[in-house]
C-alpha cells in the first residue's frame, strides 16, 4: 500500500499483465440462468416431469419482485438477483442459498417475494462484514464508516462529501496505515479518499441522468483506470448523485428502526439530558 489515491498500487506494480475479472449484471444473469436451468432439468428428471419453458417457475412463484426502496418498480428474478450480487458471483450464490433456506424454514414449496424480503436484512449485514474483510488491510474501519451513510438511499456529491468529512471526527480512521484527519475548509481530501473506497467496495455508486434507461438514470461502476472521485474532478462529480447499493437498503432500514427503538427505551431521554448537561 502506498498512496491514498492509488490504493494498493505497490502490489500492482509487482504483477505484470493484470487480467481483471469483470462480472457485470448480464454476465451474472447468464450464470444464474445456466444454474437454474440445470437444477430444473435435474428436478424434472427426478420427478418424472417435463421441464417447463420458463424453468424459473420450477423454483419461483412470481415472475417479478419489487425492488427494495422502489415499491412501484419491479424486476424479474434474474435481474434482481444479478443486481443484488454486486458484481460478485459469490454473493449471487449466497443469496440463492439464503432464499432456499428461508423458503424451507417456512415450509414453502416455491420462493416468493416475502422470502426475499425476509433475507435481505441479514444478507446486507453479511455484505458489510465481507466489505470489512476485503478492505481490512486498506481501511480497517470501513464497516463502521458505512453506517455514517445509512440515513438515506441517495445523496448529492456535496451531501456525501460533507458527511464523510465528519467521519474522522467520530472515530480514528487509517487508510494505507496512515491516520486521516477531519476535513478543513479548503481541504477535503480525506472525504474524497473515503468515498473512493466505498465506491470501490460497491457500497455506494454514482448515477447520472440517462433518458435511454428505464429508470431515467445509469450507474457508473468503479473503474481503477478512471479517475472519477477526486477533488480536482469536483465539477464533473456534481453531475452525479450517489446511491447506496440496493443490496443494503433493507439493512439500512433495520439500523434506523433499531436506533428509534433505542431512543424509546426507558432511561434514554434521562441519559441524553445528562450528556447535554455535561456539555453545557
Q: Which of 186, 187, 199, 185 is nearest to 227 (CA)?
A: 199
Domain chopping of the chain, boundaries: 25-134, 142-253
- Please check whether residue 84 is in contact with residue 246, taking contact to mean a CB–CB distance below 8 angstroms: yes
Sign of CA dihedral 267, 270, 273, 278: negative
Residues in a beta bridge with 74: 66
Res 190: pLDDT? 94
Q: Is this model's pTM higher than 0.85 or not?
A: no
DSSP class of 111? B
Taking each helix axis as running N to C, give the angle between helix 25-47 and helix 77-84, from 0 to 180 degrees, rounded to the nearest 10: 120
CA distances from 225 to 6, 194, 200, 278 (A): 10, 18, 12, 50
In this structure, what C-alpha cell is assigned to residue 157?
Answer: 456529491
DSSP class of 92? H
Residue 99 has pLDDT above 70, yes or no: yes
Res 102: pLDDT? 95
Average pLDDT score over residue span 134-142: 95
Average pLDDT score over residue span 167-171: 94
**Number of Cβ atoms within 10 Å of the Cβ of 200:** 19
Amino acid at each position: 500500500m502506498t498512496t491514498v489515491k492509488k490504493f494498493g498500487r505497490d502490489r500492482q506494480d509487482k504483477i505484470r499483465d493484470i487480467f481483471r475479472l469483470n462480472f457485470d449484471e448480464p454476465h451474472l444473469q447468464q450464470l444464474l440462468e445456466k444454474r437454474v436451468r440445470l437444477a430444473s432439468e435435474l428436478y424434472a428428471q427426478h420427478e418424472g416431469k417435463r421441464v417447463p419453458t420458463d424453468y424459473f417457475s420450477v423454483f419461483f412463484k412470481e415472475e417479478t419482485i419489487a425492488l427494495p426502496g422502489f415499491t412501484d418498480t419491479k424486476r424479474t428474478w434474474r435481474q434482481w438477483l444479478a443486481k443484488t450480487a454486486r458484481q460478485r458471483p459469490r454473493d449471487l450464490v449466497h443469496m440463492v442459498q439464503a432464499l432456499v433456506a428461508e423458503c424451507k424454514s417456512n415450509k414453502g414449496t416455491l420462493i416468493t417475494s416475502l422470502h426475499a424480503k425476509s433475507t435481505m436484512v441479514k444478507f446486507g449485514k453479511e455484505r458489510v462484514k465481507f466489505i470489512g474483510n476485503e478492505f481490512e488491510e486498506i481501511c480497517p474501519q470501513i464497516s463502521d464508516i458505512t453506517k455514517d451513510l445509512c440515513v438515506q438511499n441517495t445523496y448529492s456529491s456535496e451531501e456525501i462529501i460533507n458527511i464523510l468529512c465528519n467521519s474522522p471526527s467520530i472515530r480514528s480512521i487509517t487508510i494505507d496505515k496512515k491516520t486521516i484527519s477531519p476535513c478543513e475548509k479548503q481541504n477535503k481530501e480525506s472525504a474524497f479518499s473515503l468515498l473512493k473506497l466505498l465506491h470501490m467496495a460497491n457500497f455506494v455508486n454514482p448515477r447520472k441522468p440517462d433518458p435511454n434507461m428505464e429508470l431515467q438514470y445509469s450507474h457508473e461502476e468503479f473503474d481503477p483506470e478512471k479517475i472519477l472521485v477526486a477533488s480536482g474532478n469536483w465539477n464533473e462529480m456534481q453531475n452525479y448523485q450517489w446511491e447506496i447499493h440496493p443490496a443494503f437498503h433493507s439493512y439500512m432500514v433495520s439500523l434506523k428502526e433499531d436506533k428509534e427503538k433505542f431512543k424509546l427505551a426507558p432511561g434514554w431521554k434521562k441519559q441524553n439530558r445528562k450528556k447535554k448537561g455535561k456539555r453545557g
